[in-house]
Amino acid sequence: MKMLALDYGSARTGVAVSDPTGTLARPVCAVRAVGTEKGLAHLVKVIGEHEPERIVVGLPLTLKGEYGAQAQETQQFVEALRAVVDVPVETYDERFTTALAARGGGAGKSGEDARAAAHLLESYLQWAAGRS
């Protein structure tokens, strides 16, 4: 199953996609200001180009596993996304993906955001494989 992951941020949202078998994840890009009409429209275009069967959005819980302000903002984004795509959208705990991506080095903040989405997707794919 082809998956697409989003590492939501109010400034930039990282995008990653899996291969058609749902085994490997790769960073794609970062989309700016997805909380705006223009930014969300651009994100929907990127999603359409990759034709995923499911979208996973990283949910930034606190270290204690609780919902903080960022998780609540992310949940609002998820609801807005669900309203404009015909693909199932789910959330997945992403507490450590941004830190992992920052250690990867590379092409600035946009690259870091896309790598964070790829780390999120890799973690999700491993978790999903363990469930089946």
The CATH number that applies at residue 27 is 3.30.420.140
Domain range for 72: 3-131
Residue positions counted in the chain: 132
**131 or 30: whose pLDDT is higher?**
30
Q: What is the pLDDT of residue 104?
A: 53
Encode pLDDT of 13-28 as tens digits.
999 999 999 999 999 9
Phi and psi, residue 24, nearest 5°:
-110, 145
38, 8 Cβ separation under 8 angstroms = no
pLDDT one-digit tens code per residue, 70-123: 999 999 999 999 999 999 999 999 875 555 545 555 555 558 899 999 999 999
pLDDT of residue 108: 53
Under the banding of pLDDT at 50, 70 and 90, the label for residue 47 is very high
Whether 2 has a pLDDT exceeding 80, the answer reads: yes
Count up the domains in the chain and report the number.
Answer: 1
Torsion over CA of 90, 93, 96 and 101, rounded to 10 degrees? -10
Q: What is the pTM of this model?
A: 0.88
What pLDDT was estimated at residue 111? Answer: 84
Cβ contacts of 9 within 8 Å, gap of 6 or more: 113
- Per the CB < 8 A criterion, the answer to whether 46 and 31 are in contact is yes
Cα dist from 30 to 22, 68, 84, whole Å: 21, 23, 19
Structure tokens at 123: 């973690």
The pLDDT score that the predictor gives to residue 110 is 57
How many whole angstroms from its chain centre is CA 24? 15
Contact assessment for residue 26 and residue 14, using Cβ atoms and an 8 Å cutoff? no
Whole-number pLDDT of residue 90: 97
Which strand (E) or helix (H) includes residue 18?
strand 12-18
